[in-house]
Copies of this chain bind each other. A is one copy, B any other.
Amino acid sequence: MFNFEYYAPTKIIFGKNTEDQVGEQIKNFGGSKVLIHYGSKSAVKSGLIDRVKQSLDESSISYVELGGVVPNPHLSKVYEGIELGKKFNADFILAVGGGSVIDSSKAIAYGLAEPDCDVWQFHTKQNKARKCLPIGVVLTIAAAGSEMSNSCVITNEKTGEKRGHTNNLSRPKFAIMNPELTMTLPDYQTQAGCVDIMMHTMERYFTQGGNMEMTDTIAEGLLRNVMKYALILHNDPKNYDARAEVMWAGSLSHNGLTGCGNNGMDFASHKLEHELSGMFDVTHGAGLAAIWPTWARYVYKNCLHRFVKFSINVMQVEAASTDEETALKGIAAMEDFYKKINMPTNLHELGINPTDEQINQMAESCASAAGGQIGAAQKLSKGDMITIYKNAI
């Protein structure tokens, strides 16, 4: 068991109609001039943005709006938000959306707190953030867990680089989570969200050294629950309880709870996927599903005890005659699950077919961003990455 820090200060307001409290919560956390940030026009059309603005009006909070955040959010939109926020003198950023909107909001919040820095330097590790404006969230997609996390992933669309910036300063002050707001999501987005949620726990699960049993109990239970409710939502997308279970699991999966006492984190699948979605703009969760089985078969021998535990306790397969077989049965069972929810299990099914040159470019970019190697279940160098990308086709 390893020493750990756990810090998840975000106040959660969960359930029906909770978006009506947004003005009051912003006030509680000291906001008075708010930049409302969102993505597609659906947030406007559905009336959500109007309800949010009404709540802010009722709390006498002034605001400006900036929509248009795209999946794999762009650096150019972040710069636009910073400019707008400066002119308005914003003291609080409100994200209305999913992970992309929240991450874009976090980057804007850093930029406004340190107006003399280029925020992209926080992502390329050329500079270290010391301040961040407070951020609130009205969550509309259960997936990224950014509503409680310290993570902020932005794509520099000019260079194709997708880079994360991890810092406790950007953990949101509050997150309003009404599962009803996720009910109109297309099944593909819902299921990709479920994969992303699961992967945040799996990235913490597959490490060298045993986790705490309390942590494993939560992690394994969370994975079983998300699989159960993903299948329910596949057939019954308006099921409130299933939406709520998935939504809450999404926050718990990425707020640090499922990694307490473990030996670092893996996040190799995430990093391999970041290159894919940086280059091909695929849906993040779908990209993860397309990479994970190949990654798992590449590394499982090096982290066998964890794969065996995963197979038995999460995938609930019967133990085979050898540990290796048990591990492989668990990986195959996860692949079967992905198929049941119409998620891709390789790059071909994801709809992309990278050339050798593109694969080399992605591996080069991934390795250089990580200082050479990624992973905890097994350290992966550029050559390993190339093999995994090729095997995943």
The residues of A with any CB-CB pair to B shorter than 8 Å are 1-9, 11-16, 18, 212-214, 217-218, 221-222, 224-225, 228, 240-241, 244-245, 248-249, 252, 260-261
Contact = CB atoms under 8 A, between A and B. Distances in A.
Nearest to A14: B4
Contacts of A15: 1-4
A15 B263 CA distance: 13
A4 B14 CA distance: 5
Given A7-B12, A212-B244, A212-B248, 13 more contacts: A1-B15, A1-B240, A1-B241, A5-B12, A6-B12, A7-B11, A9-B11, A14-B261, A214-B221, A214-B222, A214-B245, A214-B248, A217-B224
B5 A11 contact: yes
B7 A3 contact: no
A217 B213 contact: no
A37 B166 CA distance: 35
A3 B16 CA distance: 7
Nearest to A12: B6
A225 B213 contact: yes
A5 B1 contact: no
Nearest to A3: B15
Given A221-B218, A225-B213, A252-B214, A5 B9 contact: no
B244 A1 contact: yes
Nearest to A179: B1
22 contacts: A1-B15, A1-B240, A1-B241, A1-B244, A3-B18, A4-B12, A5-B11, A7-B11, A8-B8, A14-B261, A212-B241, A212-B244, A212-B245, A213-B225, A214-B245, A214-B249, A217-B224, A217-B225, A218-B218, A218-B221, A244-B261, A248-B261
